[in-house]
Structure 1
């Protein structure tokens, strides 16, 4: 699992900072999370293949989280895309995108599949053999969701020494990797635990932006491997955070500590701050394993273990 930050600042793009967008890679599949203005430029800068993005998740309908979507869809079409594109977002996302496509007479050559969200409780919105995605209801000025991505357990690793010891034919290797026991010709059953080792531990990633300090999300993100939590302000602007339904670095760290996550990634910084290291300093007074999102930064979750 690998996370690439395309943009992690609040409100408006600047010369060297971009609004929210990030790409999560899970077992060679790419998921785009939010799509602020300029996302397609950031995708190019970070050498991410457009064609591998088939699922886009939009947290809410504030411009700094989705104004880049219509441009990205248009570019997909110009590049000759034919693969279906799934878009998950609040009720209204379909109307906004289709209106722009209709008035500009820019209908894409591929199918757009919208899954509009209205539920104020966590719900499963995507599941296949590799990953499961659920919403995380957040509290912001408009209807907003975070997203929880969970890897499914992969294949086990062969214990070659044990496999050779029992002279097991290679045709049974896949069964062993899938967790199956093996019955020898003499009727002896060899348990899978003796023939294989556990595979890579599945990881989970929770994206929570934008939201006021909200402890009700803790059960949804309990013990996730990495939590991205907005930290728009420092604690010196706590009243402003409350007024605008955002969080401080200290509040994000409190959520991380209570949810017992492994790592906290801070982001969605207000552009009023020149030195984002202050966010890490503030958060680490509450929670130790704090990382700072920065435009273009890549987090390899395997390397963080």
Structure 2
């Protein structure tokens, strides 16, 4: 059975929460696992509004230490404490985030009732952060005004499904079945070989989600996000503000589309919109002149891979 792999947007605005839009936060669900990518203000309120159970989140990934990407984190951890959470939680983030958290809780005399683990991220290349039986999470460098990483969530193959008709025709030993489901041919004591391609269904294509929070236009991202099924890429400004985008180390919608095009991704999800834009349709129009499969991220919407 192919597990669900989907992204729910909780916030998609940049520095100021306006026009009904909120600071960056999104939840990725892979099967029964819930991952939080960035944690801007109002994350908890948004999660309640869109019926996301924050108690199921066991891994949090913070891209960088600009407030609109992590100011909701202390509140979330405090709510976990008040709710008597006991399940371990791991936070992946840049140097200094652990100090911010521990300093806050030291002065508020907060003692967490659950194990909190912190894993420091580095912006020096592609780094494996989390490895499970069905997916992996990597960080990769973005170019912004302080150390920043994007995140790549890549599906792994699970056990193969056996062809029932083949099993009915041939009685396979248990060891052969176990081997074949792992994708390995099996040879019995008599020298008979049971081949994976004969007894199992072809594996479905693997899916990949790429998350680029804040970054200047950087074609070098292609090496990390190439062929992703879904790319979330910041599109803070339009082309008439390209100079401001460069000065603040952000991107335009057109530039995000150019990254999607050269990286051969299947779909582009635009986000991190400047407060100057009430109507976002012009940003979408700009992106689609370069990459047709562009869509605006919408808060409360879930996007399946």
TM normalised by structure 1 equals 0.93
Query: 1:230–1:268: 8 Å Cα contact kept in structure 2?
Result: yes
1:224 aligns with 2:216: no
2:217 is aligned, of 202, 213, 216, to: 213
2:41 is aligned, of 37, 41, 56, to: 37
Higher mean displacement: 122-131 or 102-111: 122-131
| CA displacement at 1:173 relative to structure 2 | 4.1
1:152 aligns with 2:149: no
Could you tell me which residue of structure 1 aligns to residue 296 of structure 2? 292
1:165 aligns with 2:199: no
Q: Distance in 2 between matches of 1:47 and 1:231?
A: 27
| CA displacement at 1:13 relative to structure 2 | 2.0
SS at match of 1:70: helix
Q: Distance in 2 between matches of 1:160 and 1:58?
A: 45
Could you tell me which residue of structure 1 aligns to residue 88 of structure 2? 84
Could you tell me which residue of structure 2 aligns to residue 238 of structure 1? 242
Could you tell me which residue of structure 1 aligns to residue 125 of structure 2? 121
SS at match of 1:95: helix
Higher mean displacement: 167-176 or 122-131: 167-176
Q: Distance in 1 between matches of 2:17 and 2:178?
A: 49
Query: 2:236–2:271: 8 Å Cα contact kept in structure 1?
Result: yes
Q: Distance in 2 between matches of 1:231 and 1:119?
A: 21
SS at match of 2:16: coil
Q: Which ranges in structure 1 are unaligned for 5 or more consecutive residues?
A: none
SS at match of 1:48: coil
CA change 1:182–1:166 in 2 (3 A) is farther
Could you tell me which residue of structure 2 aligns to residue 4 of structure 1? 8
Query: 1:225–1:261: 8 Å Cα contact kept in structure 2?
Result: yes
Query: 1:155–1:199: 8 Å Cα contact kept in structure 2?
Result: no
SS at match of 2:51: coil
Q: Distance in 1 between matches of 2:192 and 2:178?
A: 19
Q: Distance in 2 between matches of 1:195 and 1:18?
A: 50
What are the residue-to-residue correspondences of 1:1-305 with 2, within 5 Å?
Answer: 1-14=5-18, 16-168=20-172, 173-183=177-187, 187-301=191-305
Higher mean displacement: 262-271 or 112-121: 112-121
Q: Distance in 2 between matches of 1:231 and 1:163?
A: 52
Q: Which ranges in structure 2 are unaligned for 5 or more consecutive residues?
A: none
